[in-house]
Structures are given as structure tokens and as C-alpha cells.
Amino acid sequence: MPSSEERLIKVMKALADGTRLQLFKEIASRKQMTCTEVGEISDLAQPTVSHHLKLLVDAGLVNTGKNGRFVILSVNKEMTSELSEFLKNIINTEK
């Protein structure tokens, strides 16, 4: 299997969870968010939020940066777009 497919499988695993999908959508709907802000919009405990964010970051769906003492999260649009295109190409490969 090509390594790009392995990466996209990891992306789909990360998104195939209701909590992570909601967090991902929230981050995507803004330009950027801090971890604290993500925790505030969620009913979940901070360690749970951190766990889910880590999986999104590890899959390459969310980028992290630093702004002073704040960790800034933003969506990796290229990765999301790559998965979207990958799926579209699969159904356009009919021989």
C-alpha cells in the first residue's frame, strides 16, 4: 500500500469519532484556536480534550504553533483536501 494511503487511513481513523469530528469542525470554522478555547467549547474534561486533539495532530489534521505561552491550533486544510480528492478519484477510476 502506498504510504500516502497509510497516511489517509490514519486521517480517516482520527475523524471517525463523533467527539473528534466536532472538535475538528470547530477548529476549522475559525482561523485558529487555543487548546484552552477548545476546552471551553466542549463539555469534556481537559485531559479528554487533549487526548482527542493529540490524535488529530498525530494524524496531520490539525497543526500546532505557539503564540507566547499559548498553543495555537489550526486545521491542516491540505490534508483534509487530499482525503477529499482521494475519495473522489476512487469513484472516478472505473475501467
Give me the residues that bind a copy of itself (CB under 8 A), please.
1, 5-6, 9-10, 12-13, 15-18, 21-22, 24-25, 28-31, 75, 77, 80-81, 83-85, 87-88, 90-91, 93-95
CA distance 51 to 22: 14
24 contact partners, CB below 8 Å, separation of at least 6: 15, 56, 61, 62, 75
Nearer to a copy of itself, 3 or 68 (CB): 3
Give CA angle at 61 (20, 36), nearest 5°: 60
Nearer to a copy of itself, 69 or 92 (CB): 92
Give the nearest distance from C-beta 10 to a copy of itself in angstroms. 8
Nearer to a copy of itself, 7 or 69 (CB): 7
Residue identified by cell 487530499 is 82
Give the nearest distance from C-beta 69 to a copy of itself in angstroms. 25
Contact call for residues 62 and 34 (beta carbons, < 8 A): no
